Amino acid sequence: MPNFEFTDHTADIGIIAYGNSVEEVFVNAAYGMFSLIADFEKVAEVIGHQVVAEAPDQEELLVTWLNELLYLFDAEGLIFSRFEIVELRQHYVRAMAYGEKVDPSRHNLKTQVKAATYHQLKLEKGDEFSARIILDI
């Protein structure tokens, strides 16, 4: 079960994603973002799409990862319901995203997410790993 919560932010929305590892945080941040976009429970796993992203550090990598998923949604019309991190390093992530082409009659599109931002971005380890990401809506 994905582990995330939403936070209020002026004109935007924040996600705090949790996990026992950084990989889980990346996955749960993606679940959180796509739960804003549509009812991802209704998305069939028809397509597996490899997602690769690079960035100077893991915080920026999280934003790049989410924006790459948004690009696939906006440009290729793909919506995802499951995410699997294949490889994660300090500056690089390779993952699989599973879903299908958007079908507005079934997917109940809700919120248009424009981008994941660097505003108040934080990836940290306490009792568990967590990340705070602000989404531009």
State pLDDT tens for residues 92-134.
999 999 999 999 888 889 999 999 999 989 999 888 999 999 9
Contact 82, 28 (CB under 8 A): no
Residue 80 tokens, joined: 């995802």
How does DSSP assign 75-130, residue by residue?
Answer: HH-EEEEEEEEEEE-SSEEEEEEEEEE--HHHH-------EE--TT-EEEESSSEE
Residue 1 has pLDDT above 60, yes or no: no
Residue 68 has pLDDT above 60, yes or no: yes
Report the distance separating Cα 32 and Cα 113, nearest Å. Answer: 11
Q: Which domains are present in the chain?
A: 14-109+121-136 (3.55.10.10)
Closest listed residue to residue 96, CA positions, set 81, 106, 109 = 81
Report the distance separating Cα 55 and Cα 26, nearest Å. Answer: 14
| Lowest mean pLDDT across 63-72, 85-94, 102-111 | 102-111
Q: If 0-12 CB within 10 Å is exposed, 13-18 middle and 19+ buried, where does residue 33 land?
A: buried
Which of the pair, 12 or 31, is modelled with greater confidence? 31
pLDDT for the residue numbered 127 = 84
pLDDT for the residue numbered 2 = 58
Residue 41 has pLDDT above 70, yes or no: yes
Contact 51, 84 (CB under 8 A): no
Supply the mean pLDDT for the chain. Answer: 92
Report the distance separating Cα 23 and Cα 13, nearest Å. Answer: 22
For 16, how many CA atoms within 13 A lie in the half-sphere containing its CB?
Answer: 10
